[in-house]
Structure 1
Amino acid sequence: MCSSKDARVAIVMGSDSDLPTLKGCIKLLQEFNIKVDVMVCSAHRTPEKASDFAKKAEENGIDVIIAAAGKAAHLPGVLAAYTTLPVIGVPIKSSTLDGMDALLSIVQMPSGIPVATVAIDGAENAAILAVQILSVGYPGLREEMKSFKKKLALKVEEKNQALQSKLVDGKWDI
């Protein structure tokens, strides 16, 4: 049985300007004790590097790839073309089209080359999806994910209780 500490996710971004969007993703993966590799690689400016990375990712111990890119956003698809590992695409809001260009570039992959896609700037959901994928081979992560989701539910209940406390004599004190 593998420990979740053996789990490894590569986060590849098209530009270092994408890092602020990905910080929550990196932090969340680390909270689950997942090893995280982070790199900048461009599908357009360093295509050989992108191809080489994807072809060797599995033999280098990577389990899941999270790829973030804005504008044309070809990076997730290019990486997916060269590997059988799961690739999660994070469209980055970086242009006058508010990230819709990136979203459509990532989500509209041809048959046979899927990229799981999260919302524009949805890097934390990419981390959660990666943990859920990894939990198939690392059962301890499944239990950690159950605990994580219970904490999310508790936060909602706390917010509801705070809201309900504003109700005074049947009227909202807002």
Structure 2
Amino acid sequence: MAKVGIVMGSDSDMGAMSKAAAQLEEFGIEYEMRIISAHRQPDELVEWARSAEDRGIKVIIAGAGMAAALPGMCAALFSLPVIGVPLSGSKLNGTDALYSTVQMPSGIPVATVAIDGTKNAAILAARILSVADPEMLSKIKEFGAKGKEAVIAKDARLQEVGYKNY
């Protein structure tokens, strides 16, 4: 089965990135999670990203704050999809990481989700994998149906009790 690589630049990113891992687990997707700093461990990052495909990784989710070099470097070294997650925590609350992640040079695409959007990154990774995996596509459709049912139930409660008692 295809794997997803999850990489972050610091253990301070674990709180956000663990949500991606939890979502992948919900879908039954195997993943490999690492802490590798693009700025402090460039050689290790190059080795990890270049060998990811050989380890069965089909999509990388790279979370980074501030200068957000990690997603772009992964995309430069890994030929399959990379999803960048700009992380908050800086004095600019993640807008610096967002701008860095979306402004990749031509030829180095990084799909980018919202600041701290790790759960959506995992869902996007699952959707990418579902292109070649009908079982995963069924899980994605089921996930969407559960989300719809949850909203319908919340609306029914609102209609029943009113907004003041919700």
**Does TM-score exceed 0.5, indicating one fold?**
yes
Distance 1:173 1:90, change over 3 A: closer
Once the two structures are superposed, residues 99-148 of structure 1 have per-residue CA deviations (whole angstroms, 9 ceiling, x without a partner) of: 00000000100111000000000000000000000001211100110000
User: 1:88 offset after TM fit, Å?
Assistant: 0.3
1:48 paired residue number: 43
- Give, in whole Å, the separation in 2 of the partners of 1:12 and 1:22: 8
Who is 2:118 aligned against? 123
- Which protein has the larger Cα radius of gyration, Structure 1 or Structure 2? 1
> Is the contact made by 1:68 and 1:90 (CA closer than 8 Å) also made in structure 2?
yes
Kindly state the Cα deviation for residue 12 of structure 1 after the two structures are TM-superposed: 0.2
Question: For residues 78-117 of structure 1, what are the structure 2 equivalents within 5 Å?
Answer: 78-117=73-112
Query: Structure 1 length normalisation: TM-score?
Result: 0.92
Identity percentage over the alignment?
52
Q: So what's the TM-score if we normalise by structure 2?
A: 0.96
Which residue number in structure 2 is paired with residue 141 of structure 1?
Answer: 136
TM-aligned CA deviation for residue 23 of structure 1: 1.6
Describe the SS at the equivalent of 1:66: strand
Question: How far 1:163 moved relative to its partner?
Answer: 0.7
Indicate if the aligned counterparts of 1:7 and 1:138 stay in contact, CA closer than 8 A.
no
Aligned residues: 165
Alignment gaps of 5+ in structure 1: 1-5
Q: 1:173 to 1:47 in 2, by over 3 A?
A: closer
CA RMSD of superposed structures (Å): 1.0
CA distance in 2, matches of 1:12, 1:173: 44
Displacement after TM superposition at 1:173 (Å): 4.3
For residues 61 and 79 of structure 1, the distance between their equivalents in structure 2, rounded to whole angstroms, comes to: 15
The answer to whether the Cα contact below 8 Å between 1:91 and 1:103 also exists between their aligned partners in 2 is yes
User: What code does the residue aligned with 2:132 have?
Assistant: G
- Structure 1 outlier segments of 4+, above 6 Å: none
Q: Quick check: 1:31 aligned with 2:26? A: yes
Letter in structure 2 aligned against 1:121: D
The 5-angstrom pairing of residues 6-21 of structure 1 reads: 6-21=1-16
